[in-house]
Structure 1
Amino acid sequence: MSDERIRDARLLDRIMSADAAAAFIEPGTTVAMSGFTGSGYPKAVPLALAQRIEQRHAQGEPFQIRLLTGASTAPELDGALAKVDGLALRLPFQSDPDARKRINDGTLEYIDAHLSHVAQHAWFGFYGEIDTAVIEVSAIREDGALVPSTSVGNNKTWLDLAKKVILEVNDWQPAGVEGMHDIYYGTALPPHRRPIPLVHPDDRIGETALRCDPAKVVAVVRTHGPDRNSPFNPADECSRQIAAHLIEFLQHEVKAGRLPPNLLPLQSGVGNIPNAVLAGLAASGFRDLTAFTEVIQDGMLDLLHEGILTSASCTGFALSPEANERFKRDIDFYRQRIVMRTQEISNHPELVRRLGCIGMNGMVEADLYGNVNSTHIMGTRIQNGIGGSGDFARNGFLSIFLSPSTAKGGSISSIVPMVSHVDHTEHDVSIIVTEQGLADLRGLSPKQRARQIIAHCAHPDFRDALQDYFARACRDSYGKHTPHLLPEALSWHQRWLDTGTMRP
């Protein structure tokens, strides 16, 4: 790596190995790292730290840290530290199988938080003092300003609050990413807040780099490593059916005058179903679309390339390896169309409400009345976390949840009498879509919602059982506003735990 990536002469004498940098991190401290859905996370220092922790454990010495990030990261960070039992606490989102196992067996404490809340909670000290920030950047400017790489996340807050800063300068990341970021320094804590001057999704209201006091930088580590995201599978028939139902609904809303022809700013969760929806939008003739979202994945990159999406605002990427290479190759093109922000702006509830975002997110299950569980399997085992779905569900113009109607080879119904864990209440859910159809819940009472969900979203193998439960609940429930048979409400989940199927 040439010094073109490290242009602040004051920091040249702090360049060192990842092992030397990791030695600055002490047991029992709170460490904040960059990273958002497998992009922009530090690649070398966490691995070196994991090795150091493993060595200390072999000597019988305790060594764990409390880890904060923007969202999920990758095997070199979450995976490496979880494998060596190096984490005492993790927040606000994760997707690593080793971390998930430890969370679910009770050996790793986990705080599943709305992504828009994390920066504010950190400033108020709910997570304790942040000892060290480990941040990946693509370059350090002459004045010490830090050019982020492929995610921004909570990096601004981590740099502001940390006592010590370790920088990884990754020259695998394209130099051309410089200028793509918009770091807003106008936020404040209550009661001193003022309006955020963002009116359109592509507005630029901040700076193109992060501020950092050079005196806090204790180490600079040169790296050359790729972001790691799993490749997306081609859309299957189920995903295409879900996408078709949603696109037909959006077309209907345009005809009814409730949406403009170019829709409203899109927010899309990560996965194969959202990618299928994005592909379907292009095939259906929608044009001049915009996005105000957390993550840009392959489908949005395709829409930008085709000119169907005119601009996209995000805080990070979740690109397949092939899309990553295309992004790097065509970086000059994408820099004119993508704005990367801190997640306290990309997920800001007031902005989501004011811009009128269309939120499209996945779910684990929904119940008869429209309550959605997006985080827990059988009510107790965390899968990943709520992420930013709550920021967009509560505040978006349309709150859409997407899922196949069954899981685990048809043994689990995604539509159940009562969800085993509630992330999004019935008050925050507008639309539920499965491959069976779409239920528009707007303007409906609880019993009206139940009839729509059973008729349009439930799999035929479970529809009669749901109808039977609902009919008996309407007859025998203690109250008739939201009818439930409490002894049976979660019996489907218990039946699966006992027998391996929800089928009666």
Structure 2
Amino acid sequence: MNARITCPVLGTKVVSAEEAVAHIRPGDRVGMSGFTGAGYPKAVPRALADRVRAARARGEEFRIDLWTGASTAPDADGVLAEAHAIGRRLPYNSDPTLRREINSGEVEYLDVHLSHSAQHMWFGFYGNLDVAVVEVTAILPDGRLVPSSSVGNNKTWLDQADKVILEVNHWQPRELEGFHDVYYGTALPPYRQPIELTDPTQRIGDQYLRVDPRKVVAVVETHSPDRNAAFSPLDETSIKIAEHLVDFLQAEVAADRMPKELLPIQSGVGNVANAVLAGLSRSTFSGLAAFTEVLQDGMLDLLDDGTLDFASATSFGLSDAGVKRFMDNIADYKGKILLRTEEISNHPELIRRLGLICMNGMIEADIYGNVNSTHVMGSSIMNGIGGSGDFARNAYLNFFVSPSTAKGGAISAIVPMVSHVDHTEHDVMVIVTEQGLADLRGLSPRKRARAIIENAAHPDYRDALRDYVERAEAARPNALHTPHLLDEALSWHQRFLETGHM
């Protein structure tokens, strides 16, 4: 027994990571904890990678299917990818080694909406879950589990897996107990009931995860940090994007389309998202609430300065400095931060009911408002759709944000036709770049094209985009709803592949 493992039954199952991975077999479907670099297992993936390499040295094939909440880290996705241990992966990945293996065809990748990943598991779409490997902060005397720095799909993995391996991470602050809300009211159709959450601050579940102790085959102790995300200093481009977005929200309040404390906000991950949050901090807004996936440094800033009263998420996604700030002031954040299961944080019904303002990044948008969030030049996956579709489709108001160019101006983020569609024009309301903001609400396709070109496209590409639209309109005068030149629609991408410049 120790301070982190006080359950007599599970205390007898403490073993090394090397012993634990003996319970994982070739071909197993393995569900691991982890969401955006937080709360993923630290020791078992490395030990499993070693086991796979040893098997391959003996001439034996050893791959697993790997399911998580979202991305993990180099010491989880990364080490397994380096060992060529993954045959199929879902639902989101940001590891560069695994990305190369997905794009080379070595790994099958299922890029599903995060709100779908757990329920598709319940429906049996992916087959039986053989093993769950879940990081927790502590095991209580009665066997309940104090969750870690993310919740993600952990409840589902623990419920559905035949065997469970628990990692108890002593690095995670014991004071995390009380920061979680794990909802156990989900049922399969046709027996589903409404989820009675009407306010981002509301608790509807338990503080703890549950597991059948008979399924637990191993408990591994670790003392390892999360993969904390370093954020770049705010640059001029990100600041301009944030200013456009904040000015727009202030105008919406002035027009009485939302209250002065806004509606609950959701923000994607990354430097631009943090810049937008910083812009909110510099604004006149106060009393805000967040209902989102990931709590980044920018939201800690808003909580600290009083702009934000409460944040609901499924995971932390902090920098090293953000982690230190959180740990140093963890008692002050209790009651202001709540981590929920992924099936709740991304639930379409709740997103629509709460009326979220959703802000997510994009790779490119086309002149009619279709958005590509996932693929470079049509074929190569970047990370995945994540939760952006969950939020955009059901938002009260959604924004897709990006610098107007990439690769030093060689790539335009606004193109005649996107090379891959994740969010159709029907689901996209506002596109923001450092050049300006295109409000697409209530506009027909041709008016959307003018708004996007004049407000969001980089000046170096505007004349070419105007020319494309004018020639498309002239070429087919009886097909003017969404005019396109089909032999040119993707020519910008082809030109980049051939010359390195659009």
Task: State the TM-score, normalizing by the size of structure 2.
Answer: 0.99
Equivalent AA in structure 2 for residue 358 of structure 1? I
What is aligned with 2:113?
114
What is aligned with 1:245?
244
- State the secondary structure of the residue aligned to 1:187: coil
What is aligned with 1:159?
158
Residue pairs, 1:224-239, within 5 angstroms: 224-239=223-238
Equivalent AA in structure 1 for residue 16 of structure 2? S
What is aligned with 1:126?
125
Q: Output the aligned Cα RMSD.
A: 0.7
Instruction: Confirm or deny: 8 A CA contact 2:351 2:391 kept in the other structure.
Output: yes
What is aligned with 1:480?
480
- State the secondary structure of the residue aligned to 2:443: coil
Partners of 1:231 and 1:286 in 2: how far apart?
27
Partners of 1:176 and 1:273 in 2: how far apart?
31
What is aligned with 1:76?
75
What is aligned with 2:316?
317
What is aligned with 1:56?
55
What is aligned with 2:260?
261
Instruction: Confirm or deny: 8 A CA contact 2:241 2:401 kept in the other structure.
Output: yes
What is aligned with 2:419?
420
What is aligned with 1:144?
143
- State the secondary structure of the residue aligned to 1:312: strand
- State the secondary structure of the residue aligned to 1:423: coil
What is aligned with 1:357?
356
CA distances 1:317-342 after superposition (whole Å, capped 9, x unpaired): 11001101111111111121011100
Partners of 1:19 and 1:86 in 2: how far apart?
16
Instruction: Confirm or deny: 8 A CA contact 2:281 2:301 kept in the other structure.
Output: no
Partners of 1:152 and 1:479 in 2: how far apart?
49
Equivalent AA in structure 2 for residue 500 of structure 1? G
Structure 1 outlier segments of 4+, above 6 Å: none
Give the CA deviation at 1:308. Answer: 1.3
Give the CA deviation at 1:72. Answer: 0.2
Partners of 2:271 and 2:399 in 1: how far apart?
16
Residue pairs, 1:189-204, within 5 angstroms: 189-204=188-203
What is aligned with 1:211?
210
Equivalent AA in structure 1 for residue 236 of structure 2? E
Partners of 2:184 and 2:324 in 1: how far apart?
31
Partners of 2:305 and 2:149 in 1: how far apart?
22
Equivalent AA in structure 1 for residue 483 of structure 2? P
- 1:187 corresponds to 2:220: no
Partners of 1:7 and 1:430 in 2: how far apart?
51
- State the secondary structure of the residue aligned to 2:128: coil
What is aligned with 2:492?
492
- State the secondary structure of the residue aligned to 1:23: helix
Aligned positions, number:
501
Partners of 1:142 and 1:256 in 2: how far apart?
55
Equivalent AA in structure 2 for residue 501 of structure 1? H
CA distances 1:283-304 after superposition (whole Å, capped 9, x unpaired): 1111000000000000001111
What is aligned with 1:430?
429
- State the secondary structure of the residue aligned to 1:461: helix
What is aligned with 2:383?
384
Equivalent AA in structure 2 for residue 15 of structure 1? V
Give the CA deviation at 1:230. Answer: 2.6
Moved more, 438-447 or 301-310: 301-310
Partners of 2:424 and 2:203 in 1: how far apart?
34
CA distances 1:196-232 after superposition (whole Å, capped 9, x unpaired): 1111001001000011000000000010000012310
Equivalent AA in structure 2 for residue 23 of structure 1? A
Partners of 1:113 and 1:317 in 2: how far apart?
21
CA distances 1:417-436 after superposition (whole Å, capped 9, x unpaired): 00000000001000000000
Equivalent AA in structure 1 for residue 146 of structure 2? V
- State the secondary structure of the residue aligned to 2:278: helix
Instruction: Confirm or deny: 8 A CA contact 1:53 1:84 kept in the other structure.
Output: yes
What is aligned with 1:297?
296
Instruction: Confirm or deny: 8 A CA contact 2:93 2:383 kept in the other structure.
Output: yes
Partners of 2:214 and 2:299 in 1: how far apart?
39
Partners of 2:178 and 2:86 in 1: how far apart?
35
Equivalent AA in structure 2 for residue 248 of structure 1? D
Task: State the TM-score, normalizing by the size of structure 1.
Answer: 0.99
CA distances 1:437-476 after superposition (whole Å, capped 9, x unpaired): 0000000000000000000000011000000000011111
Partners of 2:339 and 2:321 in 1: how far apart?
21
Equivalent AA in structure 1 for residue 497 of structure 2? L
- State the secondary structure of the residue aligned to 2:77: helix
Partners of 1:336 and 1:491 in 2: how far apart?
53
- State the secondary structure of the residue aligned to 2:124: coil
Instruction: Confirm or deny: 8 A CA contact 1:74 1:229 kept in the other structure.
Output: no
Instruction: Confirm or deny: 8 A CA contact 1:114 1:391 kept in the other structure.
Output: yes
Instruction: Confirm or deny: 8 A CA contact 1:91 1:111 kept in the other structure.
Output: yes
- 1:306 corresponds to 2:305: yes
Instruction: Confirm or deny: 8 A CA contact 1:40 1:227 kept in the other structure.
Output: yes
Instruction: Confirm or deny: 8 A CA contact 2:42 2:222 kept in the other structure.
Output: yes
CA distances 1:250-286 after superposition (whole Å, capped 9, x unpaired): 0100000001111110000001111111111111111
- State the secondary structure of the residue aligned to 1:160: helix
Instruction: Confirm or deny: 8 A CA contact 2:268 2:360 kept in the other structure.
Output: yes
Partners of 1:230 and 1:328 in 2: how far apart?
16
Unpaired runs of at least 5, structure 1: none
Partners of 2:54 and 2:479 in 1: how far apart?
60
Equivalent AA in structure 2 for residue 378 of structure 1? M
- 1:34 corresponds to 2:33: yes
What is aligned with 1:46?
45
Partners of 1:476 and 1:405 in 2: how far apart?
28
Partners of 1:180 and 1:307 in 2: how far apart?
19
Partners of 1:217 and 1:422 in 2: how far apart?
42
- State the secondary structure of the residue aligned to 1:192: coil
Instruction: Confirm or deny: 8 A CA contact 2:65 2:89 kept in the other structure.
Output: yes
What is aligned with 2:368?
369
CA distances 1:118-151 after superposition (whole Å, capped 9, x unpaired): 1110001111110000000000111111111100
What is aligned with 1:3?
2
Partners of 2:256 and 2:11 in 1: how far apart?
59
Equivalent AA in structure 1 for residue 386 of structure 2? G
What is aligned with 1:398?
397
Residue pairs, 1:264-283, within 5 angstroms: 264-283=263-282
Instruction: Confirm or deny: 8 A CA contact 1:268 1:359 kept in the other structure.
Output: yes
